[in-house]
Chain A
Amino acid sequence: MQLVSMELVLAYFDPGSGSLVLQSLVGGTAGCMVFGKYLWAFVKERFRGRK
């Protein structure tokens, strides 16, 4: 999984990164899985970045 920059949300204001991510968690059980996957990808990316 790659966290490359890709402008997908075409908002005319800043929707807030954290606010977007949180929606997977408040979106029910399936959403929690998404949040878990997101966190895992996030940790891997950070880890890779520090090497």
Chain B
Amino acid sequence: MTLLAESSSYRDREARVFYDAAGGVCRALSARAWSEWDAMRQTRFFQQAIESGDLVRTEQRLDSEIAPESNTEQWAGMLQHEVIPFVSYPFEWSFGMLRDAGLLHLDLLDAALAEDFTLKDGTAYNVQWRGIRPVFIDVVSVERHTAGQPWAGYRQFCQTFLYPLLLQAYKNVPFQPWLRGRLEGISPQECWSLMSFRDFFRRGVPAHVFLHAWLQSRRALDDVDSTKALVDAGFRKDQIRANAQGLKRLLSGLLWSPPASVWSEYADANSYSAADRQQKETFVRSAVHSRRWGLVWDVGCNTGNYSRIAAENSEQVVAFDADPLAIERLYQSLKSNHDARSAPILPLVNNLVDLSGGLGWRGAERKALVERGRPELTLCLALVHHLVIGHGVPLRELLTWFAELGTSLVIEFVSKDDPMVQQLLRGRRDNYADYEPAVFDQLLSQMFDVVRTETLASGTRKLYFAKSRSAS
């Protein structure tokens, strides 16, 4: 059986992630990493983290499956991990998601240190999601703590968790484009240069930002073995725990209070009548219940009302919106109220007209959206006019993209008479000749099997349930 190496798992030479032919996720460990794993799996914090779901479910793989050799040594053993339903990245998370992922990281570090273990790194890429539950996936990040050692992952934690959150909370700067622009995150110097005099007096800034930037810029420190000096000066693990607990308090106290954004107010301000809304929900529910679905995408999910309907009869829903505030509200609302019998819903910040391609080493480390799982059903409601008129995407290209994804569609076409479309057309020359109901009908039926259509009571909006021709 062939094992395929995960392209992002190359830095730590002690372990490597592979996929087996059945789609399972396994991890090959060096002799050193295996001995750390063996020690760790007997600890109380490991058992608790597995039981609570904080740590990815992991078992030793006992079959004779052997991963390809590493450059330097043979692997000593293999682990089998639970499969994360849809891989996502920190640049797609909302403020609250990044904060909760950071808190999970700190909780694990603190619990590990209590039993003389530590986390050897601190990156946000150690966390994935099962619905709205963050999961720590990098089990080989846990190893025995050597007396006197500081936490090697502190800078990574600041760069990929703390600074993005501080910028959003203190400066209202969205962190997603920045984290997407550089996978290592925001450096201490960059974060400091964005702070004003007033910010110096805000929680976390003097030590974690200002001093951090100052110390990082001292070239003289490069000549000094800081770890040795710290050990000699009496550094203890209690100081890492104090730092972790301080960071937990700091993260828990961070608030993002943004101005109302366009889409997050949409549900309140849109032109639907109650009758239209009811009719639309019934239409979507009927499509969702026409069969059992695997992965469902809700693109332009806004409040997530239809994502919740999709979750009634599917395995996994991924709800996208370009607006970080809409995703934040959906995340918080799912945290306080989500039917446990429904499929998990993963809210993600993603803009269909600004999707990231492959990023990182060879452009393969962080994968493009489509490579992470194709949907069986896509909800595309009240979005086509924004893409075609608002962003100039040709209608044919949009529908071709969906057809090539191999997804069935519940899609809404809003005519030019609708007040929302009128608003989009204001101040523009109407050269969207392709944006007509007849053209939409024709293109959709060329590429899909249209099962059902329905015009909403207001008369300007039409819903379609169209089945993919490539679906099984």
- CB neighbours of B243 from chain A (8 A): 23, 26-28, 31
Among A3, A19, A24, contact of B228 (Cβ-Cβ < 8 Å):
A3
Which stretch in B63-71, B75-83, B86-94, B213-221 binds the other chain? B213-221
Binary per-residue interface labels of chain A (33-51) against chain B in the complex, 1 for a CB within 8 Å, 0 otherwise: 1110110011001100000
Interface residues of A in 1-40 (CB under 8 A from B): 1-13, 15-28, 30-31, 33-35, 37-38
- B2 lies within 8 A of chain A by Cβ: no
Contact A5 B234, CB 8 Å, known A13-B11, A26-B243: no
- CB neighbours of A13 from chain B (8 A): 11, 121, 152, 156
- B236 lies within 8 A of chain A by Cβ: yes
Instruction: Say whether B233 contacts A24, CB under 8 Å.
Output: yes
Instruction: Say whether A18 contacts B239, CB under 8 Å.
Output: no
Instruction: Say whether B228 contacts A30, CB under 8 Å.
Output: no
Q: In the complex, what's the smallest C-beta–C-beta distance from A12 to chain B, in angstroms? A: 5
Instruction: Say whether B207 contacts A21, CB under 8 Å.
Output: no
- CB neighbours of B14 from chain A (8 A): 12
Instruction: Say whether B221 contacts A24, CB under 8 Å.
Output: no
Instruction: Say whether A28 contacts B242, CB under 8 Å.
Output: yes
Q: In the complex, what's the smallest C-beta–C-beta distance from A34 to chain B, in angstroms? A: 5
Q: How long is the Cα–Cα vector from A46 to B212 in the complex, in angstroms? A: 21
Q: Give the interface residue-count category, chain B.
A: 35 or more
Instruction: Say whether B232 contacts A30, CB under 8 Å.
Output: no
Q: How long is the Cα–Cα vector from A25 to B296 in the complex, in angstroms? A: 48
Residue among A18, A19, A23 facing the most chain B CB atoms (10 A cut-off): A19
- CB neighbours of A22 from chain B (8 A): 154, 207-208, 211-212, 215
- B224 lies within 8 A of chain A by Cβ: yes
Instruction: Say whether A16 contacts B216, CB under 8 Å.
Output: yes
Contact A9 B149, CB 8 Å, known A23-B243, A26-B207: yes
Instruction: Say whether B216 contacts A23, CB under 8 Å.
Output: no
Q: How long is the Cα–Cα vector from A10 to B242 in the complex, in angstroms? A: 22
Instruction: Say whether A20 contacts B218, CB under 8 Å.
Output: no
- CB neighbours of B225 from chain A (8 A): 3-8
Q: How long is the Cα–Cα vector from A2 to B149 in the complex, in angstroms? A: 17
- B155 lies within 8 A of chain A by Cβ: yes
Among B11, B220, B246, contact of A26 (Cβ-Cβ < 8 Å):
B246
Contact A5 B228, CB 8 Å, known A16-B216, A28-B242: yes
- CB neighbours of A16 from chain B (8 A): 155, 216
Q: In the complex, what's the smallest C-beta–C-beta distance from B35 to chain A, in angstroms? A: 14
Q: How long is the Cα–Cα vector from A28 to B154 in the complex, in angstroms? A: 15
Residue among A12, A15, A41 facing the most chain B CB atoms (10 A cut-off): A15
Among A12, A26, A38, contact of B229 (Cβ-Cβ < 8 Å):
A38
Contact A20 B228, CB 8 Å, known A15-B155, A28-B242, A34-B234: no
- CB neighbours of A7 from chain B (8 A): 225, 227
- CB neighbours of B45 from chain A (8 A): none
- CB neighbours of A33 from chain B (8 A): 234
- B13 lies within 8 A of chain A by Cβ: yes
Beyond contacts A5-B228, A8-B225: 10 other A-B pairs, Cβ-Cβ < 8 A, are: A1-B232, A10-B120, A12-B12, A15-B154, A18-B218, A24-B230, A27-B243, A30-B236, A30-B238, A41-B229
What 10 pairs between A and B have smallest CB-CB spacing?
Answer: A27-B239, A18-B215, A19-B155, A37-B233, A28-B242, A11-B152, A15-B152, A8-B227, A18-B216, A17-B221
Can you give 24 A-B contacts (C-beta < 8 A)?
A3-B229, A4-B225, A6-B227, A8-B228, A9-B149, A13-B121, A15-B155, A18-B212, A18-B215, A18-B216, A19-B155, A20-B150, A23-B151, A23-B235, A24-B230, A27-B239, A27-B242, A31-B235, A31-B242, A34-B239, A38-B226, A38-B229, A38-B230, A46-B220
